[in-house]
Amino acid sequence: MSGGIETDMAFDRHEDARATDDPSLREKREQLREVMRIAPIICAVHCINALILSLAFLDTAPAPLVGGPLALLLAGFGLRSLLLLRQSRREIPLSAVPRRIIVLNAVTGAFVLALASWSAALASYGTPAQVLVAVIHDCATIAICTVSLLHLRSAALTALSALVPVGLVKIATGVALVQAGTMICVISGGGLLYLTVLYSARFRQLVRQHGDLKRLNRETERLARVDLLTGLPNRRSFFSDLDAIVAASSPDAEIHLAVIDVDGFKTVNEMYGHAIGDAALAEIAMRIGEFCGERHRLGRLGGDEFGLVVAGGESADDAFDLCCRIGEALRQPLHLAERTVRVSASIGFASARASSRDVVHLHEQVHYALREAKLDRRAGCMRFSPAQEARLRRANAVAQALRNADFQRELRLEFQPVIDADRNGIIAFEALARWYSPEIGRVSPVDFITAAENAGLIGLMTDVLLVKALAGAAQWPERVHLYFNLSAHDIMMPDFAARAAEIIRASGVSPARIAFEVTETAIIRDFAAAKDTLDALKALGIAVALDDFGTGFSSLSYIHRLPIDKLKIDRSFTSEILTNPACRDIVRSVSGLCRKLGIDCVAEGVETQAQMVLLGRLGCRSMQGYFFSRPLPAEEAAALACARGAAGDADARVVSAA
């Protein structure tokens, strides 16, 4: 028996799947659903009318003729109402719609004819006035059925068609009053027929429009959740799916998340154009997708960044191994229609149990691991570790403290002298930012500068520090200059040069005494924006120094493409200059290049006299480091500038580093 039921259900599902392609069935289902919704109320109206009719003939017609049909009709209306009420709460399969309509038409016709027959039987025992009541009852019954079935034209016409035999029977009575009332009802029925056809057509049109709108909304929603280039879920859809996966997972289930950042894509886009770039992204998405099964969820988070969720019971080690294999696959050449290009990938990976608090911070952990992977270019794929978790918590604490900080009160500067080794005098001080937070204590400049950039506070911080630095420089002799570091965010801001000019004018310090230091890493983020800012600063009379020279990329190209006045050789070369011949050769070459181009050369990180002597022999005149002086508070720097701002003693050391 159960096997037969399952076979019938399977057949219905098969038929329903075929029926979904027929728009007319969907229209009829909506019409049927609307009829079923109001049917119980209409049945109640018919019951009341039938009861009134029976009361009108209670004194003239036989009791069995009055009570028997009434009881049957009331029972029939009641059962039909209950059945329709139950069916209206369920979804109607499309395959069942034609059958339901046929049944509804048959039941409607049967009910109308049954009521009309009972009314005619009662009228045979009544007075003309009672017969007129029967006519009114019949016409009202037909009209109510027709109006209630307007949404479904076939059922409405079935009910209205009963008006013909009912009218003929009533006209045949020969009673003028009854005939007149019947003719009025028949003529009104003609108008009702027109309204039925018109309204049914309008309703079908509304149903079609509603269906079109629903399909359009579904398509709009689909497009809002899909990346059109790759066909993958977009950022919004991806993280919505991640939330759903976490909610549906058991508490002990592990959720693994990876973010894949394509390295070198920007170069491909700039060299070959957006068409090749788009083709490369589509190929990258397909290549990643080859590693993904039903248990994985892949999406494009934006630009050249993809997200991957692994939550099918795989261990963290297996999921991480999958990410490493994806990274290896992306290092292989991309064979596009017009050319072959190469990219690579940095991948951040993190895991958490669905029940743990860490799953809320999973995205943050993954991006932290991704940043670590990009810093360590040999890593490729980086797994979030306990050590990184400690650093991330520290970074979050720094960010929170930074939002609550009073920059004017908490930020201060120390100044480290830059020495002219030939005349043993101070030529400049580099301003070094310091922050002691009342909440978390002393914070490294690397930490709080990064946090300020991420929090969007670096502009305000730079302005406060520049005011303080200029206030310090105002206490020095005119020949002593100020070196001030700019962040990548500063030089990308179009209004920075104007802000700096206003601050400098207010300080009274000559722009010719100021040099802004920028790193190669900051410049490479957006070369065009950086060049515009540096050109504007140069036009104000401010010098530009390229800091940490030699640690970035394409360093030599910046010397002739940017308004560079000074190069600061990175301390990594200075520290090995005594033991590494390659470092000595690099310093010698850079020093010679600066002399030929008329650019000042400053060696950073000088810690011993031997380093100082060798740097002098290699052509470096300006030096900076703990051998000469540690960074000093503003008051000590001012005193030292006044004392040693000219040619000094034979001893090159300015202040003990102790």
- DSSP letter for each residue of 326-354: HHHHHTS-EE-SS-EE--EEEEEEEEEET
| pLDDT over 50 (residue 654) | no
According to DSSP, the β-strands at 622-623 and 344-353 are unpaired
Which range is least confidently modeled, 55-69, 280-294, 347-361, 535-549? Answer: 347-361
Choice among 163-167, 263-267, 305-309, 653-657 with the minimum mean pLDDT: 653-657
- Rounded to an integer, what distance in angstroms lies between the CA atom of residue 431 and that of residue 516? 10
Q: Tokens 């939002």, residue?
A: 403
Mean pLDDT of 564-577: 90
State mean pLDDT over 243-255. Answer: 86
pLDDT over 60 (residue 9): no
Residue 368, H or E segment: helix 362-375
Residue 158: which of 103, 206, 205 has the closest Cα?
103
d(CA 54, CA 21): 49
Rounded Cα gap, residues 576 and 625, in angstroms: 14
**Alpha helices, DSSP H, located in 162-273:** 163-171, 176-225, 235-248, 265-272
The mean predicted confidence, pLDDT, of the chain is 82
For residue 517, count CB atoms less than 10 angstroms from its CB and return exposed for 0-12, middle for 13-18, buried for 19 or more: buried
DSSP letters spanning 233-252: B-HHHHHHHHHHHHHHS-TT
| pLDDT score for 179 | 66
Residue 300's SS3 state is strand
> Domain 419-640 belongs to what topology?
TIM Barrel (3.20.20)
Angle at the Cα of 387 from the Cα atoms of 386 and 391, rounded to 5 degrees: 115
The answer to whether 54 touches 174, Cβ cutoff 8 Å, is no
Token pair for 553: 């990329």
Q: Report percent pLDDT > 70 for the chain.
A: 83
Find the range with the poorest average confidence among 49-53, 266-270, 375-379, 579-583: 375-379
List the alpha helices (DSSP H) in 376-518: 386-403, 407-410, 445-455, 458-473, 488-492, 496-507
The 10s digit of each residue's pLDDT in 601-632 is: 999 999 999 999 999 999 999 999 999 999 99
Q: Give the relative orientation of helices 128-148 and 176-225 as an angle to the nearest 10 degrees.
A: 10
- Helix 128-148 × helix 23-56 angle, to 10°: 160
Residue 243: pLDDT over 80: yes
pLDDT of 171 > 70? The answer is no
b/e burial code for range 541-558 (CB count within 10 A of at least 16 → b): ebbbbbbbbbebeebeeb
Q: What is the largest CA-CA distance in the chain?
A: 143
Q: Of 126-135, 311-320, 422-431, 467-476, where does the model show the most confidence?
A: 467-476
- The residues, ordered by sequence, that sit 6+ positions from 475 with a Cβ below 8 Å of its Cβ are 634, 638, 641
Rounded to an integer, what distance in angstroms lies between the CA atom of residue 566 and that of residue 546?
Answer: 6
What is the distance between the terminal CA atoms of the chain, rounded to a whole angstrom?
96
pTM of whole model > 0.75? no
DSSP three-state, residue 353: strand
Q: What are phi and psi of 437, to 5 degrees?
A: -90, 135
Distance of CA 74 to the CA centre of its chain: 59
**Report for 52-56, 140-144, 442-446, 630-634: range of highest mean pLDDT:** 630-634
HSE value, Cβ hemisphere, 13 Å, CA-based, for 372? 20
Homologous superfamily, domain 235-384: Reverse transcriptase/Diguanylate cyclase domain (3.30.70.270)
Using an 8 Å Cβ cutoff, are 604 and 624 in contact? yes
**pLDDT value, residue 612:** 94
Question: What phi and psi, each to the nearest 5 degrees, are found at residue 246?
Answer: -65, -45
> Tokens 């499309």 label which residue?
94
Say if residue 83 is exposed, middle or buried (CB neighbours under 10 Å; 0-12, 13-18, 19+).
middle
Structural contact between residues 423 and 476, judged by C-beta atoms closer than 8 angstroms: no
Torsion of CA 169, 171, 176, 178, to 10 degrees: 50
C-beta of residue 347 within 8 angstroms of C-beta of residue 372:
no
Convert the pLDDT of each residue in 409-436 to its tens digit.
999 999 999 999 888 889 999 999 999 9
Q: How many CB atoms lie within 10 A of CB 570?
A: 20
CA distances (Å), origin 199, targets 39, 147, 152, 155: 18, 10, 10, 13
What whole-number distance in Å separates Cα of residue 314 and Cα of residue 258? Answer: 14
Could you give phi then psi for residue 632, rounded to 5 degrees? -115, 150
**CB count, 10 Å around CB of 310?**
27
Res. 107: pLDDT tops 90: no
List the one residue out of 235, 250, 253 whose CA is nearest residue 303: 235
Question: How large is the average pLDDT for residues 8-36?
Answer: 58
**Sequence-distant (≥ 6) Cβ neighbours of residue 199 within 8 angstroms:** 150
Cα separations (Å) of 245 from 231, 288, 346, 383, 408? 20, 20, 25, 21, 47
Give the span between the Cα atoms of 501 and 53, in whole angstroms: 98
Q: pLDDT: is 527 or 647 the higher one? A: 527
Q: With 60 as the cut, is the pLDDT of residue 7 above it?
A: no
* Per-residue pLDDT band at 650 (split at 50, 70, 90): very low
Looking up tokens 């100044």 gives 415
DSSP string, 612-645: HHHHHHTT--EE-STTT---EEHHHHHHHHHHHS
Q: How confident is the model at residue 356 (pLDDT cuts 50, 70, 90)?
A: low
For residues 28 and 97, the answer to whether their CB atoms sit within 8 Å is: yes
Residue with tokens 């934006």: 302
Distances (CA, A) of 304 to 56, 234, 381, 401: 83, 12, 16, 33
What pLDDT, on the 0 to 100 scale, is given for residue 256? 92
Highest mean predicted confidence (pLDDT) among 105-109, 137-141, 527-531:
527-531
**108 has a pLDDT exceeding 80:** no
Tallying the residues shown for the chain, one arrives at 658
Least confident of 302-306, 335-339, 533-537: 335-339
What's the Cα-to-Cα distance from 193 to each of 62, 151, 153, 185, 597, rounded to whole Å?
36, 13, 10, 12, 98
Least confident of 10-19, 197-206, 393-402, 483-492: 10-19
Q: Are the C-beta atoms of residues 577 and 559 closer than 8 Å to each other?
A: no
